[in-house]
Amino acid sequence: MAGYTRTVILLAALTALFGVIGQMIGGQQGMIMALLFAGSMNLFSWWNSNKMVLRMHNAQPISPQEAPRLYDLTAKLAANAGLPMPALYVIHEEQPNAFATGRNPQKAAVAVNTGLLEMLSEEEVAGVIAHEFAHIKNRDTLVMTVTASIAGAISALAQFGMMFNRGRNRQGQNPFGPIGMLLMVILAPMAAAIVQMAISRSREYEADRMGAEICGQPMALAGALQKLEHYAHQRVNQRAEANPATAHMFIINPLSGARMDNLFSTHPRTANRVAALEKLAANMRARPSSNPWGQEIPSEKPPALQGPWG
Structural domain span for residue 10:
2-309
Give alpha helix (H) positions in 216-261.
218-232, 238-242
- Rounded distance, CA 91 to CA 129, Å? 14
Do residues 133 and 105 make contact, with C-beta atoms less than 8 angstroms apart?
Answer: no
Return the pLDDT at 301.
42
Query: 262-294 burial by CB neighbour count: b if 16+ within 10 A, else e?
Result: eeebbbbebeebbebbeebbeebeeeeeeebbe
> Is the model's pLDDT at 82 over the cut of 60?
yes
* Bigger pLDDT: 247 vs 29: 247
How many domains are contained in the chain? Answer: 1
* Bigger pLDDT: 195 vs 60: 60
> Is the model's pLDDT at 5 over the cut of 80?
no
* Bigger pLDDT: 273 vs 165: 273
Q: How far is CA 248 from CA 46, 98, 156, in A?
A: 17, 11, 20
Computed on alpha carbons and rounded to an integer, the radius of gyration of the chain in Å comes to: 21
Return the pLDDT at 106.
92
Helix (H, G, I), strand (E, B) or coil at 146: helix
Return the pLDDT at 78.
96
> Is the model's pLDDT at 233 over the cut of 50?
yes
Least confident piece of the model among 152-166, 232-246, 259-273:
152-166
- Going by pLDDT thresholds of 50, 70 and 90, the confidence category of residue 263 is very low
Average pLDDT, the chain: 77
Task: Give the distance, in angstroms, between the CA of residue 80 and the centroid of all CA atoms in the same chain.
Answer: 22
Contacting residues for 226 by C-beta, under 8 A, at least 6 apart: 270, 274
Number of neighbouring beta carbons within 10 Å of residue 61: 12
Q: Model pTM greater than 0.85?
A: no
Q: What is the mean pLDDT of residues 236-240?
A: 87
- Going by pLDDT thresholds of 50, 70 and 90, the confidence category of residue 272 is very high
Catalytic center residues: 132
